[in-house]
Amino acid sequence: MSGVLEHPDAAALLTIARTTVLEEILPALPETHRLTARMVANALGIAQRMIAVDPSRLTALEARATALVRSGQDPWAALCALIRSGQADPGTECHAAVASLLSDLAQLRCETSAPKTLAGG
Amino acid sequence: MDEARCERLRDWLARAADDAGLAITAIERLVGGAIQQNWRLTLRRGDGREERWVLRTDNPATLAVSHGRIEEFALLRAAHAAGVTVAEPLFVCEDSGVIGAPFLVMRHVAGIAAAHRVVKWDAIAGGREAASRALRRELARIHRIRPPRSDLAFLGDPPADPCLAFCAEQERALDAAGPHPILEWGLRHLRRTAPPPIAPSLCHNDFRTGNILWTEQGLAAVLDWEFAGWGDPHADLGWLCARCWRFGNLAMEAGGIGTRAALYAGYVEAGGAVPDAARVAWWELAAHLRWASIALAQGARHLSGREPSLELALTPHIVPELEWHILREVASREAGLERAA
């Protein structure tokens, strides 16, 4: 035991579970069930990448959103309202900052849900 | 489908087909269809002939924007009458007491629709160029159906401005889905750059690889009419050509199947107007937005607890990839606008 919870931890368990699905279960399945097994492996992979995200990256993105909207409400909802209202259109003061934030947000979201996209896939 | 439902179904079909001797000899659920259930029925008619039909009915939770089976049947009939290559619509049953939900029955058509197989199939429909022309010929036939049509009254009045109506619909979808600032960014760009309205046509609204049935000889059937409505015919072209619907075969801009040039040529040969490339480009970006909001709605079906499903749970994870391409496309279009200014 290392800390309160037993090891291997969540990330390691998801990794070995995914490897087992792909390398041991999938080859033994009939064609009709292979798509489902691939989906299981895909779900495990996404979960694995989600829990591996450094929380400080989420906090930093949220702080940038909060600074842009200067509002006490959910910063992402406020940012959506700002964009929809045209206050972040090209030529506005915050356009470049919003574009930069969205680019970094897209990067993080793809790292977890669609890493092949970042590799040009 | 349990025995009691099968028996009720047989009785209903026998009456609808005016064939007391009709028997169902096999019933098999077809794979695919996140929104609908499709069943292949093998029948022996009273005179001994064997026939294959497809029964289409709703899954427990359906997308609010999709038509029910009764409306889909009317659309299939209108398309069939206009010469669109569809499975012949046979019967529609509005009575939920037969199998638990309304259903429609159409003639079974053999072919391959699976997108990942279709985009790798060089011999498709006699070759990729012929396949592209076939796609556009079908679209030209669909787009010749214009309002008003009393048989399609359930579609409502055509939107005065299809592009702005699309933007408003997507804003509502995003409001329901929760904050997605990248999608909002793409949508704002679309609203700012919307082309002016043009005369509305019937749009299939899901005309893409995966919803077209192919054989080596040709296009066998246009499937899945549940999203059809009045709109800008370029919306169908944009949906078909959008990067997200090329299934990895990016060079083949017409749905991963053929070239854009052959697609456009086929449309003109079939009597359509020359497509407006800028308008199609707007709808290609719109396609990414629309697919993202559909994916979020499908995820919501899982999250609601009413329809737990691994496939539905994974679908929203397509959204980040769509967002990635939306951001790049918006930046590229903005740069183009700046150069032009």
pLDDT tens digits, B157-208: 999 999 999 999 999 999 999 999 999 999 999 999 999 999 999 999 999 9
Chain B nearest C-alpha distance from A109 (Å): 6
Amino acid B201: pLDDT:
95
Among B30, B188, B291, B338, the strongest candidate for a mutation testing the A interface, having the largest count of A CBs within 10 A, is: B188
Contacts of A42 in chain B (CB under 8 A): 314
Rounded to 5 degrees, φ, ψ at B90 are -110, -55
At residue B267 the predicted structure's pLDDT band, cuts being 50, 70 and 90, is: confident
Put simply, the answer to whether A106 touches B171 (Cβ < 8 Å) is no
- Identify the domain boundary among B47, B82, B107: B107
Rounded Cα–Cα distance for residues B118 and B135 (Å)? 13
In this structure, are B120 and B260 located in the same domain?
Answer: yes
Contacts of B173 in chain A (CB under 8 A): none
| Tokens 């787009």 -> residue | B143
At residue A70 the predicted structure's pLDDT band, cuts being 50, 70 and 90, is: confident
Contacts of B185 in chain A (CB under 8 A): 83, 88, 98-99, 102
Amino acid at site A41: A
Amino acid at site B108: H
Classify the C-alpha dihedral B38-B42-B44-B49 as positive or negative: positive
At residue B219 the predicted structure's pLDDT band, cuts being 50, 70 and 90, is: very high
SS3 content of chain A, % helix, strand, coil (to 5): 75, 0, 25
Q: Which of B181, B184, B317 sits opposite A113 (nearest CB)?
A: B317
- Identify the domain boundary among B59, B77, B107: B107
Residue B60 has pLDDT above 70, yes or no: no
In this structure, are B73 and B122 located in the same domain?
Answer: no
Contacts of B321 in chain A (CB under 8 A): 110, 113-114, 117
- Identify the domain boundary among B107, B136, B155: B107
Domain span at residue B45 reads 3-107
Amino acid A2: pLDDT:
59
In this structure, are B97 and B134 located in the same domain?
Answer: no
CATH number of the domain that B211 lies in? Answer: 3.90.1200.10
The gap between the terminal CA atoms of chain A, to the nearest Å, is 40
Does residue A21 belong to the interface with chain B, where contact is any CB pair within 8 Å? Answer: no
At residue B33 the predicted structure's pLDDT band, cuts being 50, 70 and 90, is: low
Helix (H, G, I), strand (E, B) or coil at B216: coil
Put simply, the answer to whether A102 touches B185 (Cβ < 8 Å) is yes
Report, as an integer, the average pLDDT of B126-138.
89
Amino acid B12: pLDDT:
97
At residue A101 the predicted structure's pLDDT band, cuts being 50, 70 and 90, is: very high
A101 or B274, which is more confident: A101
Residue A82 has pLDDT above 70, yes or no: yes
| Tokens 């005309």 -> residue | B207
In this structure, are B83 and B126 located in the same domain?
Answer: no
Of B289, B302, B270, whose CA–CA distance to B34 is shortest? B302
Does residue A114 belong to the interface with chain B, where contact is any CB pair within 8 Å? Answer: yes
Tokens linked to B163: 């592009």
Amino acid B69: pLDDT:
86
Among B116, B293, B324, B327, the strongest candidate for a mutation testing the A interface, having the largest count of A CBs within 10 A, is: B324
ipTM of this model?
0.94
In this structure, are B303 and B242 located in the same domain?
Answer: yes
Q: How big is chain A, counted in residues?
A: 121
In this structure, are B149 and B295 located in the same domain?
Answer: yes
Amino acid B226: pLDDT:
86
CA distances from B205 to B44, B169, B222, B234 (A): 36, 14, 12, 10
Query: What region, left, alpha or beta, does residue B218 occupy, with left being phi > 0 and alpha being psi -120 to 50 degrees?
Result: left
For A62-76, B25-39, B301-315, which range has the lowest pLDDT when averaged over its residues?
A: B25-39
In this structure, are B100 and B119 located in the same domain?
Answer: no
Report, as an integer, the average pLDDT of B103-111.
95
In this structure, are B145 and B74 located in the same domain?
Answer: no
Please count the structural domains in chain B.
Answer: 2
Amino acid B35: pLDDT:
64
For B5-9, B47-51, B121-125, which range has the lowest pLDDT when averaged over its residues?
A: B121-125
Residue A8 has pLDDT above 70, yes or no: yes
Query: How high does pLDDT run on average in chain A?
Result: 94
Q: Give the residue from chain B lying closest to A113, CA to CA.
A: B317
In this structure, are B129 and B268 located in the same domain?
Answer: yes
Amino acid B32: pLDDT:
63
Put simply, the answer to whether B192 touches A89 (Cβ < 8 Å) is yes
Residue B289 has pLDDT above 60, yes or no: yes
Report, as an integer, the average pLDDT of A70-93.
94
CA distances from B146 to A64, B140, B149, B153 (A): 49, 12, 7, 12
